[in-house]
Amino acid sequence: MSNEDQLWDAVQNRDATRDGEFFYGVMTTGVYCRPSCASRLALRKNVRFFATPAEAESAGLRPCKRCRPKGASAAVLNKVVHELARQIDAQPEETFSLEQLAQRAGYSPFHFQRSFKAIMGSSPKEYQTAARVRMLKQELRNEKPVADAIYQAGFGSGSRVYEKADGQLGMTPSEYRSGGKGLTISYASGPTPLGLMMIGATDRGICFLQFGDTDEALLKELRQQFAAATVQAMPDSHRPEFEAWLGALNRHLRGLEPRLDLPLDVRGTAFQLIVWRYLQKVPYGEVRSYSEVAAAIGKPKAVRAVASACASNSVALLIPCHRVVRGTGELGGYRWGVQRKRVLLDTERAASKR
């Protein structure tokens, strides 16, 4: 241990890099803490230093309920969570007990699950389901029988994977194994105030709505995103519906139709879907910061994951990721260009003041 003046400096500065190296106890309150504890700073004369939690408890002190000094430090917890994630990725078919995992990190199951979600963007159960879906895809690509692939990936029954297939596999296992022959996406493009726009739709709704410079580039992007599907030009029988969609979108882009009510067929991870649903609730003409979105969905530490979910959005306008900005008020990034984002926000603000 360093000398006590250095230890006291670390406590005053709430130095998280020293967590785990030593602990300090406040003799007047009977509580001991880690150096980074955000509790009110005690008087120096009432503080003692300890090398381990056991030493502090031998002196009659109890652990702080705020900083949980007996649990792993933030750095250790982050390492444990990522080690666990790698273990799940390597063995998705295995069953992992939340209680056992939490015990490894030194936290309660509730606190560990909350920390895992903050760091990885999903709960351990959601993360494992995503890993199992990836393994299922691999088994299907290797031409394993559907039933064998389902059980090899760790799904207890066929019904379980069919529950998950619509949200993460993008189609049924049989459709996926046959190259997505059962999924057809029709596309068409048209001019808008923000440039060329292409719409791709299944029989359930719009799955692709993006801006670009050429039809060729947009079609290439559509095919890359839905490589296993049949992609075809919008049939004449559906042109009236497409024209109606395009008209509604153009009125929206001019500030004449704030609310868009078009059918959607989007797929993503559990975390992405949570973010996208929240974005659809952000009022027209308003913005939220990435940290505000993270807090609103109950994952305040998942700011980067929120930004990633916004960047993964394939359906412009209908999932209004342009309404998310940096905490400083700067626009931040936008998949279809910052200038388009600026025009969208300016148009919405002006229209909402009418």
Query: What are the tokens at 130?
Result: 């995503």
Q: Which of 37, 64, 207, 321 is catalytic?
A: 321
In percent, the amount of the chain with pLDDT more than 90 equals: 37
Question: Using alpha carbons only, what angle is made at residue 260 by residues 268 and 253, rounded to the nearest 5 degrees?
Answer: 105
**All domains in the chain, ordered by first residue:** 4-63 (3.40.10.10), 71-178 (1.10.10.60), 184-253 (3.30.160.70), 270-344 (1.10.10.10)
| Distance from the Cα of residue 205 to its chain's centroid | 23
251 has a pLDDT exceeding 70: yes
What gap in Å lies between CA 210 and CA 306, rounded to an integer?
A: 20
pLDDT in tens, 27-53: 999 999 999 898 899 999 999 999 888
The predicted model scores a pTM of 0.51
The verdict on whether 64 is a catalytic residue reads no
The verdict on whether 207 is a catalytic residue reads no
Q: Are 87 and 269 in contact (CB under 8 A)?
A: no
Per-residue pLDDT at 176: 44
120 has a pLDDT exceeding 80: no
Region at 14 (left for phi over 0; alpha for psi -120 to 50; beta for the rest): left
Q: Are 42 and 28 in contact (CB under 8 A)?
A: yes
Residue in this structure with the two tokens 């059980």, named with its chain if needed: 151
Q: Residue 231 half-sphere exposure, CB side, CA atoms within 13 Å?
A: 18
In percent, the amount of the chain with pLDDT more than 70 equals: 79
pLDDT in tens, 298-340: 888 889 999 999 998 999 999 999 999 998 888 888 999 999 9
Q: What is the DSSP letter of 237?
A: G
What's the first-to-final CA gap in the chain, in angstroms?
66
What amino acid is encoded at 155 in this protein?
Answer: F
Number of other CB atoms surrounding residue 191 within 10 Å:
10
pLDDT in tens, 95-112: 777 787 777 666 677 777
Q: Which of 33, 64, 67, 310 is catalytic?
A: 33
Per-residue pLDDT at 165: 42
